[in-house]
Structure 1
Amino acid sequence: MSSADFLTDFHHVATIGATPHHGVDRQAATPEDAQSRAWFSKWVTDAGYTLHVDGIGNMFGLIEWTPDAPFVLVGSHLDSQPLGGRFDGAYGVLAALHAARNVDELVTNSGTAPPFNLAVVNWFNEEGGRFAPSVMGSSVFAGLFDQEKMLDVVDLAGVTARAALAEIGYLGTDPRPVTVSYAEIHIEQGRILEREKIAIGIVDRSWYTQKLDIEVLGEQSHTGATAMVDRRDALVAAAKIILMVQEVTTDFADEAIVSSIGQLTLEPNSPIVVARRVRLIADLRSGDPQIVQTARATLLEKIAALAVEHDIQINVTDFDIRPIRYFPENGLQLAEQAAARSGLSTRRIQTMAGHDSVAMNTSVPSIMLFIPSIDGVSHCEREFTTDADMVAGLALLTEVATDLVNGALVDPTRSPALTSTTSARA
């Protein structure tokens, strides 16, 4: 395994869509995303692997040792948030590519093919910064989202995901690999591993997530000519909702719930017009679904009172509700044993953020691994993880992928029919 080759590739990919303060801006299906996809495609084909692109823009680098056998998937995503970090997602794809090559070399040198093949995946639109909801490509793959509905999703400019993928040449038609298990490695996006000086987090569950689409409808009028008493200002009401979403977390124990307003659109967005319409997206997350439901009920009650107070209409719609997902115990133990062989300290950890692994875990046994994040900062240009931690994670992912292609997570009574083992690919 060449850690130098991995680091060279990682730091090169970080130049694609690079921002002035060491971040990246590669939103889904933009020209910058297309450049990272072209790099992925070239890496896969140069390695002698087969490239597939499916109908939602997911990219797969297929390594087939055993004809017609199913695949273990490893990977993450190359798209980013606006002015995002260079590690989020991209690290998982680059580590997967190099781990796959390491496993391929082991298999080739052994002369015997494992029961399962291996594929590296770059998922479409994990971030959801341009097209909502997030985790789109893997959720379509796992059967959680309908592909046609997702392709019809529009960005703020009215461009559909379908049109954007076609524009950059990645609206594919290739078949998806039949899959038996999935593994993903990612930066933690939190401070637990750094604070406790632990090398690897092994994710045992995700948090409950609930989003609210809030539409505030006032009346457009002149900012200079309309008396204050006569205004029905949607933006003033929206500002109060933003504070409500922030303040509702104080009803609960510290760190029991997180909330935010991450996106706001304003009409007509003129400096001399009182706003007629504001749309906000609220995000509520907790390890306890009841806490989220209680916070939601409080917000709905306060928003209804606010609408009466300001003589405006406020519409609130639930969407993108994601239950807690538990990762399989045998996968947690597999990762712990692999880390022990690599001399890496571990702890079990929950993920507050959404990941492709959470979606994939609904359809096949999945493993989610974290490496430390400096200061826990993420979704911004200051996001940082050391080369040493990335290399350690690559070594662990190689161990895990090796175990998976040898059937470590598969129940033989339920696995797909396999072709007889053949000689390894030359």
Structure 2
Amino acid sequence: MTAGGFLDDFATLSTFGATERGGVHREAASAADEAQRNWFARRLGDLGFTVRYDRVGNQFGLRETVPDAPYVLVGSHLDSQPYGGRYDGAYGVLAAAHAVHRAAGTDGLRYNLAVVNWFNEEGSRFTPSMFGSAVFTGALDLHAALDTRDPAGVRVGDRLEAMGHIGTDAPELAGVAAYAEIHIEQGRVLEETGTAIGLVVDTWAARKYDLRVLGDQSHTGPTPMADRQDALLGAAHLVVTARELSDELSTPETPLHTSVSRMAVEPNSPVTVAREVTLNLDLRSPDEDLLARADAVLHERIPAIERAARVGVEVAGSHRWGVRPFPAAGVELARRAADDLGLSHRPVSTVAGHDSVNLNGHVPTVMLFVPSVAGISHNEGELTHDDDALAGVELLTAVVRRLAAGEPAG
């Protein structure tokens, strides 16, 4: 397959859910996602892959050349954020297909090869994020996943059944020898340092909360200010508190990233004080001690927020992980492959979660980055230059060959 073949395929992939501003809008199991998954299945078939789906809609392309051997699994995700960019996830899936296709003809392979498009990595329609790979690795219960509903009440299992994307004959974790993923950096380090490849050595720690702010509904006009129990006011305090934690606790050496997102207001009427607000609050840092301190300060300040807004704040759900190193042997494998290709590289951390974070710790996992222009991501302006994208495909091909030949990665 030629460089032009990859770029042509990427141009086609970018038409699914295309937006006027150059991005894509294709949340998991949407009509646009269904269309692109069907196109990808056809494309895999054209390239000689056998297409399979597992019980939560993860989409696999299999190249079996070694009877009864486990798989080297390579992939990412095709779903996007609402009005997101073309590259996040999708680049890694298509790069995996091209890399595996090229590597499959190599002599002396010890393992079979497989491409995967993980279902609902973004978590924007169905929560949590990294959904399909979480089920695959046992971090998320299958039945709970299938029963998950979007804000409109659409159930994951029903939608996957309607798409025809549920199966039972796909690879399972026990049959995976190693995993590799390539992704856009979603940061500026590679671009600012003129580096072609990021060798991901670890992921930041994170603590994520689903918070529910409970007030009481009343009229926005006549209700005395002192009598109001405004859930939206309480939520606003939480938004400010999250930013204050970063401003107060971050240092250049130990940053703390905080955010509040996906806020739902009830009853969301222009003349009604909100009775309830649900929101996501996210804390991330490369320093677990700093993250624990930020978490403690957040919980120390919640009672004051409750008093000031006359509301209650409940934790409706939470999700966390610590700093997770990627196997040093996998980093070294990728470094040697990059050196052989003459590609500049540097060790980097991933701040964002990826499906590789779920696979890491279960199987030897290699994570690679290519540059993002200006670090823009989850935005229609997301961009990776063609030369950088193609260099990533070349490196991923070399990494897949080494993994499939049995070179240790962890």
- TM-score interval for Structure 1 and Structure 2 normalised by the shorter chain: over 0.9
Displacement, 1:410? 6.3
Q: Deviations over 1:70-121 (max 9, x none)?
A: 110011100000111000000001111111111123x2xx4xx511010011
Instruction: Please name the residue that 1:135 is paired with.
Output: 130
Q: Is the 8 A contact 2:59 2:116 kept in 1?
A: yes
Pairing partner for 1:216 from 206, 213, 216: 213
Instruction: Please name the residue that 1:91 is paired with.
Output: 91
Instruction: Please name the residue that 2:110 is paired with.
Output: 115
Instruction: Please name the residue that 1:338 is paired with.
Output: 337
Instruction: Please name the residue that 1:197 is paired with.
Output: 194
Residue range with higher mean Cα deviation, 295-304 or 365-374: 295-304
* Aligned counterparts of 2:188 and 2:215: Cα–Cα separation in 1: 42
Instruction: Please name the residue that 2:160 is paired with.
Output: 165
What is the root-mean-square deviation in Å for CA atoms of aligned residues? 1.3
Q: Is the 8 A contact 2:99 2:394 kept in 1?
A: yes
Q: Is the 8 A contact 1:61 1:120 kept in 2?
A: yes
Q: Is the 8 A contact 2:204 2:285 kept in 1?
A: yes
Displacement, 1:317? 4.6
Q: Is the 8 A contact 2:366 2:409 kept in 1?
A: no
Extract unaligned runs of 5+ from structure 2. Answer: none
Whether 1:65 aligns to 2:60 is no
Pairing partner for 1:183 from 175, 180, 183: 180
Whether 1:26 aligns to 2:26 is yes
Q: Deviations over 1:323-359 (max 9, x none)?
A: 2211111111100000001110010010000011111
Q: Is the 8 A contact 2:228 2:310 kept in 1?
A: no
Instruction: Please name the residue that 1:207 is paired with.
Output: 204
Instruction: Please name the residue that 1:241 is paired with.
Output: 238
Displacement, 1:287? 0.6
Instruction: Please name the residue that 1:424 is paired with.
Output: none
Aligned residue runs from structure 1 range 362-401, under 5 A: 362-401=361-400
Q: Is the 8 A contact 2:329 2:409 kept in 1?
A: no
Q: Is the 8 A contact 2:215 2:311 kept in 1?
A: yes
* Aligned counterparts of 1:29 and 1:294: Cα–Cα separation in 2: 38
Extract unaligned runs of 5+ from structure 1. Answer: 412-426
* Aligned counterparts of 2:170 and 2:16: Cα–Cα separation in 1: 28
* Aligned counterparts of 2:78 and 2:167: Cα–Cα separation in 1: 17
* Aligned counterparts of 1:311 and 1:223: Cα–Cα separation in 2: 16
Q: Is the 8 A contact 1:31 1:168 kept in 2?
A: no
Displacement, 1:262? 1.4
* Aligned counterparts of 2:269 and 2:309: Cα–Cα separation in 1: 21
Instruction: Please name the residue that 1:151 is paired with.
Output: 146
Aligned partner of residue 354 in structure 1, secondary structure: coil
* Aligned counterparts of 2:42 and 2:170: Cα–Cα separation in 1: 20
Instruction: Please name the residue that 1:329 is paired with.
Output: 328
Pairing partner for 1:228 from 200, 225, 229: 225
Instruction: Please name the residue that 1:38 is paired with.
Output: 38
Q: Is the 8 A contact 2:333 2:409 kept in 1?
A: no
Q: Is the 8 A contact 1:204 1:327 kept in 2?
A: yes
Instruction: Please name the residue that 1:420 is paired with.
Output: none
Q: Is the 8 A contact 1:206 1:324 kept in 2?
A: yes
Q: Which amino acid aligns with 2:354?
A: H
Q: Is the 8 A contact 2:329 2:408 kept in 1?
A: yes
Instruction: Please name the residue that 1:423 is paired with.
Output: none
Aligned residue runs from structure 1 range 204-353, under 5 A: 204-252=201-249, 253-254=251-252, 256-317=255-316, 319-353=318-352
Q: Is the 8 A contact 2:341 2:395 kept in 1?
A: yes
Q: Is the 8 A contact 2:365 2:409 kept in 1?
A: no
Identity of matched residues, %? 48
Whether 1:104 aligns to 2:104 is yes
Q: Is the 8 A contact 1:142 1:362 kept in 2?
A: no
- Equivalences, count: 406
* Aligned counterparts of 2:208 and 2:396: Cα–Cα separation in 1: 32
Residue range with higher mean Cα deviation, 316-325 or 53-62: 316-325
Displacement, 1:164? 2.2
Q: Is the 8 A contact 1:138 1:356 kept in 2?
A: yes
